[in-house]
């Protein structure tokens, strides 16, 4: 991938308020450029990917909203959020999906020599994912990886392991809101410039889970594809979460119409 022009802080637009949640008005290219700027600055910074169900979770959890406000980058992970932004007259440029962002950052890291660390998933998944990444990106520096199955008593040793690896990017392959809370709580101690939560994306890299076909992704129904794959784990989260998101959106649109 070719060099990407950095986006300086003076070029960043004010965030868009979508149903009470502030998101960056950046497309994928600009998000990658902002990530490079963050890495160059060396100050620990967290990225947050926001889907429709995440917006509901943020509405329900004041502490999680505090985490969101503290993040250096907040992107629209799902098309539902982008569509909502347009209906509300505060349009975001495009979806910046966490899986796509991660894949692009692998390319940038290989090109620029950034060191990466993966935290989360199982040992088996991590071994396979690392092997596949080395084959796909021969010059990618995988500084380390560690499974996500540990308790709070092991936090210090996990942090020490990550610090010793000196990564430029930490990918947290853990569920929400665990990854958001953990990264926010420990980001200063971790000392990693760029911290990104990627959920189950490493399972996809390892081939242990399948991503939806491109046409499904573009249709906005990738969530449904994922739910069909893991109904017990995801059915309630997506069906209830998306219904609540639509309720929040409808209430906001009705409120705007009455005020107008």
pLDDT tens profile 193-239? 999 999 999 999 999 999 989 898 888 899 888 899 888 888 898 99
pLDDT above 70 coverage of the chain, percent: 95
- Nearest CA-CA partner of 187 in 47, 27, 14, 46: 46
Q: Decide if pLDDT at 180 tops 50.
A: yes
pLDDT in tens, 23-54: 999 999 999 999 999 999 999 999 999 999 99
pLDDT (0 to 100) of residue 257: 79
201 is written with which tokens? 């994306």
pLDDT (0 to 100) of residue 9: 46
Is residue 133 very low, low, confident or very high in pLDDT (cuts 50, 70, 90)? very high
First-to-last C-alpha distance (Å) of the chain: 46
pLDDT in tens, 47-101: 999 999 999 999 999 999 999 999 999 999 999 999 999 999 999 999 999 999 9
Q: Which alpha helices (H) appear in 27-154, and where do they start and end?
A: 28-41, 52-60, 62-70, 79-87, 98-112, 123-136
21 is written with which tokens? 């949640």
pLDDT (0 to 100) of residue 226: 86
pLDDT in tens, 100-112: 999 999 999 999 9
Is residue 260 very low, low, confident or very high in pLDDT (cuts 50, 70, 90)? low
Q: Decide if pLDDT at 256 tops 90.
A: no
195 is written with which tokens? 């911290």
Q: Decide if pLDDT at 3 tops 50.
A: no
Mean pLDDT of the residues in the chain: 93
Under the phi-then-psi rule, with left for phi > 0, alpha for psi from -120 to 50, and beta for the rest, what region is 2?
A: beta
- Nearest CA-CA partner of 56 in 250, 255, 247, 254: 247
Which residue shows structure tokens 């947050």?
A: 48
Q: Decide if pLDDT at 8 tops 60.
A: no
Is residue 12 very low, low, confident or very high in pLDDT (cuts 50, 70, 90)? low
Task: For residue 51, give the DSSP letter.
Answer: -
pLDDT (0 to 100) of residue 229: 87
Tell me how far CA of residue 260 lies from CA of 7, 16, 90, in angstroms.
Answer: 36, 20, 15
d(CA 185, CA 191) in angstroms, rounded, equals: 12
d(CA 9, CA 14) in angstroms, rounded, equals: 11
């Amino acid at each position: 991938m070719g060099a990407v022009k950095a986006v300086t802080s003076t070029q960043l637009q004010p965030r868009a308020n979508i149903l009470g949640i502030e998101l960056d008005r950046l497309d994928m290219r600009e998000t990658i450029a902002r990530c490079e700027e963050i890495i160059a600055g060396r100050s620990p910074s967290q990225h947050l990917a926001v889907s429709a169900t995440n917006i509901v979770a943020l509405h329900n959890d004041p502490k999680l909203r505090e985490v969101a406000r503290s993040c250096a980058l907040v992107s629209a992970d799902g098309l539902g959020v982008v569509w909502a932004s347009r209906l509300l007259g505060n349009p975001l440029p495009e979806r910046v999906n966490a899986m796509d962002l991660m894949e692009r950052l692998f390319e940038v890291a290989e090109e620029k020599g950034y060191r990466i660390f993966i935290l989360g998933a199982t040992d088996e998944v991590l071994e396979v994912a690392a092997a596949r990444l080395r084959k796909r990106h021969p010059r990618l520096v995988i500084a380390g990886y560690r499974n996500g199955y540990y308790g709070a008593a092991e936090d210090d040793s996990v942090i020490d392991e990550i610090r010793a690896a000196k990564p430029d990017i930490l990918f947290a392959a853990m569920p929400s809101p665990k990854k958001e809370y953990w990264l926010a709580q420990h980001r200063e101690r971790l000392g990693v410039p760029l911290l990104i939560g990627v959920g189950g994306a490493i399972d996809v890299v390892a081939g242990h889970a399948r991503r939806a076909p491109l046409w499904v992704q573009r249709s906005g129904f990738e969530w449904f594809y994922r739910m069909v794959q893991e109904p017990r784990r995801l059915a309630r989260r997506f069906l209830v979460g998306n219904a609540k998101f639509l309720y929040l959106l409808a209430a906001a649109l009705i409120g705007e119409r009455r005020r107008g």
